[in-house]
């Protein structure tokens, strides 16, 4: 009997592999623009906590023009962060949005808001709480999730589309290397297609647009908790941007933490970091602490 038992158990282990930690539903349509579908991939954890997080990848607000171009929602950055969050029990919505060079600001912001409204409107179908939605993103995606956190996001109660009646405000934010003030940083030239206005040009249309597109413009005491992660040697988005955002949020009484990554350059895995902290763990703990309500 003993000689039969061990092989049987081994065979059972082979025939019954461990369940996958999550599944992915691809190409969910969250809106339409002039006949083109706006798409998201939904990461569904095997053991869901009942909370949703929208993830927006960094891309310089840009996607290639080729028919064969990789969608933003399924690039390596989206997969890395979305899978990490899904393994922690969060239902994750990785989105593609309209992008440069075809679409300039505010298309990217509008699509991000539409995605949150769609998620909220269909929360029951996704098995998440509609009143507790988080947002995470890096670089240009960090800018967009910061806009979701600081804008009031009110829906239009008279809109014929019920999705558009929903709020686009999120309840917790994790932003990596996010450009948050185009009047002090230089990244506005990409999304806005114009140089930063010089001192004394406050009455120009250029100044108005740079201010309007900056998340820091909208900081108020009712904003959600923010975790900012940024490499202090970042040459694409100045570390000073996150320092400024931290100061603005603190002044408004908003819960905020700036995780400084020593020596790190720009990128989703903080390249060239010196003894980097567990930034993925920090992200999960932030959502566990400030998104999840016991």
User: 24-290 adopts what CATH topology?
Assistant: Rossmann fold (3.40.50)
What is the spatial order of strands in the sheet that 226-231 belongs to?
A: 22-33, 36-45, 91-95, 52-56, 133-138, 172-176, 226-231, 256-261
Instruction: Encode pLDDT of 143-173 as tens digits.
Output: 999 999 999 999 999 999 999 999 999 999 9
Q: Rounded to 5, what percent of the chain is helix, strand, coil? A: 35, 20, 45
pLDDT at 29: 98
State the pTM of this model. 0.93
Per residue in 202-242, pLDDT (tens digit) is: 999 999 999 999 999 999 999 999 999 999 999 999 999 99
* Band of residue 11 on the pLDDT scale cut at 50, 70, 90: very low
Q: What is the total residue count of the chain?
A: 294
How is residue 17 annotated by DSSP? P
Q: Is the pLDDT of residue 253 over 80?
A: yes
Tell me the per-residue pLDDT of 35-70, one tens digit each, with 9 for 90 and over.
999 999 999 999 999 999 999 999 999 999 999 999
């Amino acid at each position: 009997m003993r000689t039969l038992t061990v092989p049987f158990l081994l065979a059972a282990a082979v025939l019954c592999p461990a369940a996958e930690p999550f599944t992915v539903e691809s190409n969910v349509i969250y809106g339409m623009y002039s006949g083109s579908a706006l798409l998201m991939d939904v990461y569904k954890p095997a053991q869901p906590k009942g909370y949703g997080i929208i993830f927006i990848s960094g891309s310089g607000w840009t996607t290639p023009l080729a028919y064969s171009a990789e969608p933003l929602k399924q690039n390596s950055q989206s997969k890395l962060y979305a899978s990490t969050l899904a393994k922690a029990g969060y239902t994750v919505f990785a989105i593609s949005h309209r992008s440069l060079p075809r679409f300039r600001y505010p298309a990217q912001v509008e699509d991000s808001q539409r995605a949150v409204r769609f998620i909220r409107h269909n929360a029951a179908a996704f098995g998440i709480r509609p009143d507790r939605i988080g947002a995470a993103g890096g670089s240009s995606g960090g800018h967009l999730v910061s806009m979701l956190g600081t804008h009031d996001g009110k829906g239009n109660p008279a809109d014929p589309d019920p999705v558009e009646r929903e709020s686009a405000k999120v309840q917790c934010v994790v932003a990596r290397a996010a450009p948050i003030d185009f009047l002090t940083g230089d990244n506005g030239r990409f999304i806005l297609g114009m140089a930063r206005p010089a001192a004394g040009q406050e009455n120009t249309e250029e100044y108005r647009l740079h201010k309007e597109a900056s998340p820091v413009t909208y900081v108020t005491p009712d904003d959600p908790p923010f975790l900012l992660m940024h490499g202090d040697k970042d040459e694409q988005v100045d570390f000073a941007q996150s320092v400024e955002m931290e100061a603005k949020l603190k002044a408004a009484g908003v819960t905020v933490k700036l995780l400084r990554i020593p020596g790190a350059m720009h990128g989703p895995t903080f390249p060239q970091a010196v003894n980097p902290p567990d930034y993925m763990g920090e992200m999960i703990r932030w959502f566990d602490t400030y998104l999840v309500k016991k």
